[in-house]
Amino acid sequence: MAKVYEALRRAEEERKRKAQGQETPVVAVEWDSTPATAPPPRRRGRVRSWFGRRSDADAVAGAGGATDMNKRRISLLQPESYVAEQFRVLRGRIDSLAAERPIKSVAITSPNANEGKSTAAINLATVTAMSVGSQVLLMDCDLRRPSVHRSLGLEPQLGLAEVLRDEASMDEAVLKMESLNLDVLAVRGQPSNPSELLASARMRSLVEEASDRYDRIILDTPATLGVPDAKIVSELCDGLVMVVRAGVTPREHVEAALDVLDRRRLLGLVLNGAERGGEREGYY
């Protein structure tokens, strides 16, 4: 865990530097390598026609010219960008750990909301799906504030809640992204009992079923502090990645989140929003 706490120390130093008006160096990915203990066809739902158009990629280009939605899918729109390369680094480190022990399912969380976990989940799933022969499922497990479908331009007719309530099968709810080995199980309806659904036996069997079908499953969970959902989902997964925002996330919040989660599943920590050469790249 030493590298994780070193990342927290650097994040805290960056917060102090910003308060004093100083520039800060880049910190891309801090990783703790301490050991821890046939895809479905395309189904119902529509992918909006503007998904992946060149005009979207053009909108990303230029400092400060990206919309929030385009930032969330920058690895798809600008696969050769510095940001996309950082997600490839993250993918490579997970693959290295997976060579030592099975890591099919990876939960992505953060201590608080708006720290970049959904951006990390979407872009990690995208670059993983770019690997030759890899079949990837991106599962939006945030039944309270889902964002994956909007970020990817999806209009699901069925989603995770319907599957967990046995109103639809996984085959019926999963959407397939064109030209990528990436399937998406998004959120259609927002239930009144999200924690109970995520803690159900059906959710456990769904993760197991997906693990049999896909090479890697990326699960976007709610923030850890305040609701039990992230802990529930992470305990169904082989690994866990925590995202923190440089200059924003207090160290004590990260430590509190780590206290909530099963640290044995923690693969590493990603520092979002660090600066490189005094210029913010958006996501590292």
Which domains can be identified in the chain, with CATH numbers? 2-51+83-280 (3.40.50.300)
Which run of H or E residues covers position 195? helix 194-198
State the pLDDT confidence band at 282, using cuts at 50, 70 and 90.
Answer: very low
Provide the CA 112 distance to its chain's centre, in angstroms: 14
pLDDT tens, position by position, 73-128: 555 555 666 777 888 889 999 999 988 899 999 999 999 999 989 999 999 999 99
Rounded distance between C-alpha atoms, residue 5 and residue 30, angstroms: 9
Rounded distance between C-alpha atoms, residue 192 and residue 59, angstroms: 37
pLDDT of residue 134: 87
pLDDT tens, position by position, 4-34: 556 556 655 655 565 555 433 333 444 443 4
Rounded distance between C-alpha atoms, residue 95 and residue 272, angstroms: 21
pLDDT tens, position by position, 147-206: 999 888 899 999 999 999 999 999 999 999 877 889 999 999 899 999 999 999 999 999
Mean pLDDT to the nearest integer, 273-282: 56
What's the angle, vertex CA 65, arms to CA 63 and CA 68, rounded to 5? 115
**pTM exceeds cut of 0.85:** no
pLDDT tens, position by position, 180-191: 889 999 999 899
Q: How many CB atoms are located within 10 Å of the residue 268 CB? A: 21
Tell me the backbone φ, ψ of residue 241, rounded to 5 degrees. Answer: -120, 130
Mean pLDDT of the chain: 78
